[in-house]
Structure 1
């Protein structure tokens, strides 16, 4: 895909979250203040509601970028750190390969390749294999199946400029690593993203409440709908959380208050 514009929205950091909901949104002005104070925030770069990159700003002027492919799968993670005056070094670049959508959803990768670059151009590429592919490589290698190669190259090819706040064109060349080619000039457009919307909003909700047979990571199952009655919400706020993580701060949404 060739793009000549990017939609830009701001929110809280994602960390290692692999879900498909948009990060908690925040106004551009709030993100700018956090940037000036050296506090973390996230920038989502997308095209026509298709995510291309999520860029996280970390304390101590560190950056992390997640890249998405044409299926909106998170396929790559790049860590950048200060290198020299006004420059960042992409010192760690991790790519994943998945055999199918179900494996991606459960984060069971077939191959994880990590490229590590030192400040003087020392490069190490480590490939790890998981699942049946990992077993085959382990059998052939007589070990864990991981492979490592090392070489020296010019570090300049791993550098990019430190962006000023809002200068996200700096990261556009990285998008080519997932097949997203930028035009000679790229226009940035700030977009306002509401809770539960945007390019990574949750999809397939109706399928969760459709009776009948379905496939799950644990095998075939059947969905049977049961009327649980009326739910009274006197606070006007509904907390949504995975039951396994109920101790974490849940996401809350407002509900209509009936007279």
Structure 2
């Protein structure tokens, strides 16, 4: 595919999900806050409604890029880690070969080739052949399906051949050269089109939260109850940032900007009216 523009959308990290669009989309603003806080998120780069690359931002300023071919098959995974100031090293590049559509659907590759690059430019290329047992993209990092045979070779190349700029948030053009590895060709100038969802349209949007702190009788899904506000002490904000989440799910925190200072914490305690 030849492209001169890329559609950009944001969502949660995909992991081993083999779809072609975000399962959990998010707004650009939320993704930007996650980036600033060092939290993970994913960027999908598409053209003509066809996915070209999924870029995942990992804690520690690491990136993972999944590349799609003209069939919208995910055929490659590149892990990039910080290398010096403002640069990323393509430390591991994994490619897969699938015999047919059904094998790709279930992630059963015939051949997996992994190129590993050290910081000084030493390179190891390992080819794994699945044979009758088959393999999966997850096996390259999770050991899901072992290969039936392995071959490898070592060589040396300038480490500069494996470097790219580390992007600031929104500078997704830096990943465009990687798309050529799956046969896509970019114009000299690439326009980015924001296709993300609106702010607050995702699952983190709260409505009617003030009712949780109004004392008195209330109705709940389990029946009548009484709200009793409780003094939870003083919260000191020294950084100007506050991370919030569901108490039972703390892996994907939302970070918001708040004023500096000391604030009284109030908890709205729900008491069973029948006790």
Q: What TM-score do the two structures reach when normalised by structure 1?
A: 0.69
Distance change in 2, residues 1:122/1:50 (3 Å): same
**What stretches of structure 1 of length at least 5 have no aligned partner?**
135-142, 195-233, 235-259
How far the C-alpha of 1:38 sits from its partner, in A, is 0.5
The count of residues paired between Structure 1 and Structure 2 equals 188
How far the C-alpha of 1:20 sits from its partner, in A, is 4.3
Whether contact under 8 Å (1:109, 1:131) holds in the other structure is no
How far the C-alpha of 1:23 sits from its partner, in A, is 2.9
How far the C-alpha of 1:41 sits from its partner, in A, is 0.5
How far the C-alpha of 1:107 sits from its partner, in A, is 1.1
Taking the aligned partners of 2:21 and 2:187, their CA distance within structure 1 comes to: 29
Q: Which has the higher helix share?
A: 1
Taking the aligned partners of 1:91 and 1:62, their CA distance within structure 2 comes to: 10
Question: Larger radius of gyration, structure 1 or 2?
Answer: 2
**What stretches of structure 2 of length at least 5 have no aligned partner?**
135-146, 199-220, 222-275
Taking the aligned partners of 2:80 and 2:60, their CA distance within structure 1 comes to: 11
* 1:228-247 alpha-carbon deviations (Å, 9 max, x no partner): xxxxxx9xxxxxxxxxxxxx
Given the alignment of the two structures, is residue 68 of structure 1 paired with residue 68 of structure 2, yes or no? yes
1:151-230 matched pairs, under 5 angstroms: 151-193=155-197
Q: Which has the higher strand share?
A: 2
How far the C-alpha of 1:193 sits from its partner, in A, is 4.7
Matched residue SS, 2:149: coil
Taking the aligned partners of 2:196 and 2:152, their CA distance within structure 1 comes to: 44
How far the C-alpha of 1:131 sits from its partner, in A, is 2.9
Task: Name the structure 1 match of 2:125.
Answer: 125
How far the C-alpha of 1:17 sits from its partner, in A, is 1.6
How far the C-alpha of 1:183 sits from its partner, in A, is 0.6
Task: Name the structure 2 match of 1:43.
Answer: 43
